[in-house]
Amino acid sequence: MFKRILIANRGEIALRIIRACRELDISPVCVYSQADRDGPWLESADQSVCIGPAASKDSYLRIDRIIAAAEVMHADAIHPGYGFLSENSHFAEVCRDSGFEFVGPSPEAMCALGDKVNCKRLARKAGTPVFPGTEGGIEDLDEAVQSAREIGFPVIVKAAGGGGGRGMRIARDEASLLDGIASARQEAAAAFGNPMVFVEKYLEHARHFEVQVIGDKHGNAVHLYERDCSSQRRHQKLIEEAPAPGVLQKNRDRVCESAAELIRQAKYAGAATCEFLMDHKQNFYMLEVNTRVQVEHPITEAITGVDIVKTGIRVAAGEPLPMKQSDIRVNGHAIELRINAEDPARNFMPQAGRIETFVVPGGPGIRMDTHARAGYTIPTHYDSMIGKLIVHAPDRATCIKRCLTAMSEFKIGPMRSTMPLYSRLLQEKSFIDASHDIKWVERLLESDRAKK
Ligand code: ADP
């Protein structure tokens, strides 16, 4: 097992990894930017070094400085967390070449699954359901038009190297398809250095269904069932739950097993998430594979009892997975609410500044993952998530009630957070009866604006 892990991240995820390290008797060490000098999570680390100014490109994205810090602090492994360099295969390779174990997949497996065209090809082989669409990248426009006709409009043009919702265009006819291909290519070349785009069916009404999977270096892989993340705004998840409500057991088993098979075939070691869209007939179509731990991993931990972060560290150290598929059972229901320092009443304006009041809820089934506290000043340079409330209960109805009580106990000031919005969302009929889809929050906010 590792003796010392360097955490190349910040905030609540750094704290989450520090806690996992402690339970495994590993010494956690951190890097931080000048803006995070007073980051409360640094107090829990054994040692930390400043690696540069506030801007991520000058600190958390500086591979050379992170490697130097790992050398100086005598780490034997590097954990990327999520965001920043977590899906950068070059970083994973530099870690390996510099003699540090990267807590995550090999650069080869990351590349194979990170490229959307290649990932789709592997998924077809593994029997993981994907959208109908072009086989690979688009070579010529006639072929693209031909396949769009076969699939049927609307279709979506997407970048092979895409991420963060960029390089995508929806096309409802042939003219907009040709425009879409040209502009998506340009955007993709500029953003990802790879102009390759492909076309697939566009699904109008869908739910976001994602499968947590984890593999080891000995060819084993299991799934930890799924999460439903259909409550989003601008492709950002706000509320996640596990398991996905209303999905038939046989459909769930089939898609979850196919996701585990995909990472087994990709010889993938570590935690990953296969993201799908699900239509109202419970057909599944894979969107992409995220080759890292996700923000919403705790709800899966709550319902399965598996510590995903600790298991990820164990498999990176070469241990076999400590469980078989048949050992994994779903227990109850869990919901995660992302606490963003944003004001939902003022178009989600980011809220910076010093936190004066911070009251954390408690009681059975309540877990709060946060690095914030009273006296902490939220820097403006990073994303606005300051914590996550994870609520576990025997069933979904109790879980929703428990969330409402916990939210009423939670207090932050003087800034606003997204919590008041969630109290309302959890009481909406379409959420309660699970007839919602990935656009439901935006439709609701839109109708609020129209009423004003
Ligand atoms: P990124 O890597 O940029 O996040 P994804 O492939 O995950 O790209 O897609 C981002 C979002 O775009 C999805 O969550 C979904 O809302 C929408 N989307 C992508 N592909 C489709 C599709 N074929 N049909 C409908 N919506 C889609």
The residue type found at 6 is L
User: Sign (positive/negative) of CA torsion 365, 371, 377, 383?
Assistant: negative
Instruction: For 52, list phi and psi in degrees, rounded to 5.
Output: 145, -175
292 as an active site residue: the answer is yes
Q: Tell me the domains of the chain and their CATH numbers.
A: 4-103 (3.40.50.20), 130-201 (3.30.1490.20), 207-451 (3.30.470.20)
pLDDT digits (tens, 9 = 90+) for 208-235: 999 999 999 999 999 999 999 999 999 8
Cβ atoms of 7 and 30 within 8 Å: the answer is yes
Is residue 32 helix, strand or coil?
strand
Select from 205, 277, 288, 441 the residue to mutate for testing ligand 1; criterion: most ligand atoms less than 8 Å from CB: 277
pLDDT digits (tens, 9 = 90+) for 295-346: 999 999 999 999 999 999 999 999 999 999 999 999 999 999 999 999 999 9
Name 309's Cβ contacts closer than 8 Å, sequence gap at least 6: 16, 17, 20, 271, 293, 297
Q: What are the Cα distances from residue 327, in Å, to 26, 256, 265? A: 27, 15, 21
pLDDT digits (tens, 9 = 90+) for 135-186: 888 988 888 899 999 999 999 999 988 877 788 999 999 999 999 999 999 9
| pLDDT value, residue 136 | 85
Q: What is the mean pLDDT of residues 243-252?
A: 98
pLDDT digits (tens, 9 = 90+) for 418-442: 999 999 999 999 999 999 999 999 9
pTM over 0.85: yes
Cα 162 to ligand 1 centroid, rounded to whole Å: 10
Q: Is 438 in the pocket of ligand 1 (CB under 6 A)?
A: yes
More confident residue, 189 or 359: 359
Residue 317 CA neighbour count, 13 Å, CB half: 17
Catalytic residue among 62, 65, 207, 292: 292
Q: Is 287 in the pocket of ligand 1 (CB under 6 A)?
A: yes
